[in-house]
Amino acid sequence: MYHNIAAAPRDLKVYRSLYVSPASFARQMGLLKMLGYRGMSMSDAMPYLRGERQGRVAVITLDDGYVDNLESAAAILQQHGFTATCYVVSGFIGQYNAWDSERLGVRKPLMSVEQLRGWRAAGMEVGAHTRTHLRLSQCDDAKQHDEVHGCKVELEDRLGTRITQFCYPYGDYDERSVEAARRAGFEAATTTDRGRADAGRSTDFWRLPRIQVARHHLLAQVAAKVLTGYEDKRK
């Protein structure tokens, strides 16, 4: 789980961990390749998650849809033959992180429709991240439907492609939002719950855990997160 692939602004006081530098990201992708992993988008990885195929697979996800994902991450992923999923907030396409810009004191540019098409042309996937990046557990049923299903519709209309993957903003979800993701037609949904996803038909595809990679993580820590049960113990 990544967010920004860029150097953290010097004046940023909070959530600097959301930034991973392009150089660090390149080293991390190189590590996965060296360890025999293939980096994949959520859709590319679904046959492995369902237990239909086997292999050393690491699913690469990036939340929110920042421009730096296209400018910095896409070429690195392509270099290694990897794909990735970027979860997009449909109501702020081509704008900025309005949901937390005031708290952060930073307006981070989000990809436009044209840039999202460029992301897809690079072999990457666009997933859904609600319409306005709010906490779904705090919404009534009608609002949840609008945010979840509405995001899918908006992205499909604007990009002209099926959107099959979803991510809960802030990792905030309840039984109603999980059901909303199912009803909207998403094949899977990711959380911020810590851990590695188990492959097989018993997997809950609408509550998939992820491994956060943050600015302060050293390469050895990333390796430990991927190769060992370190993250699984924190589910």
- Which amino acid is residue 137, in one-letter code? S
Cα separation of the two ends of the chain: 15
Element (H, E) at 62: strand 61-64
Element (H, E) at 59: strand 57-59
Distance CA 186, CA 183 (A): 8
- Which amino acid is residue 58, in one-letter code? A
* CA R_g for the chain: 17
pLDDT of amino acid 156 = 98
Distance CA 107, CA 105 (A): 7
Q: Is 19 helix (H, G, I), strand (E, B) or coil?
A: strand
Cβ pair 108, 101 in contact under 8 A: yes
pLDDT of amino acid 232 = 82
Tokens of 123: 């072999």
What domains appear along the chain, each with residue ranges and CATH number? 4-234 (3.20.20.370)
Q: Tens of pLDDT along the chain (235 residues)? A: 999 999 988 877 777 889 999 999 999 999 999 999 999 999 999 999 999 999 999 999 999 999 999 999 999 999 999 999 999 999 999 999 999 999 988 999 999 999 999 999 999 999 999 999 999 999 999 999 999 999 999 999 999 999 999 999 999 999 999 999 999 999 999 999 999 998 876 689 999 999 999 888 889 998 888 888 888 876 5
DSSP 6: S
Tokens of 134: 């709010």
Mean pLDDT (the chain, rounded)? 94
Residue 221 CB coordination number (10 Å): 13
The strand ranges marked E within 118-224 are 125-128, 165-167, 188-194, 208-210
pTM of the complete model: 0.95
Element (H, E) at 4: strand 4-5
Distances (CA, A) of 76 to 72, 114, 146, 157, 227: 7, 20, 35, 29, 22
pLDDT of amino acid 154 = 98
pLDDT in tens, 68-123: 999 999 999 999 999 999 999 999 999 999 999 999 889 999 999 999 999 999 99
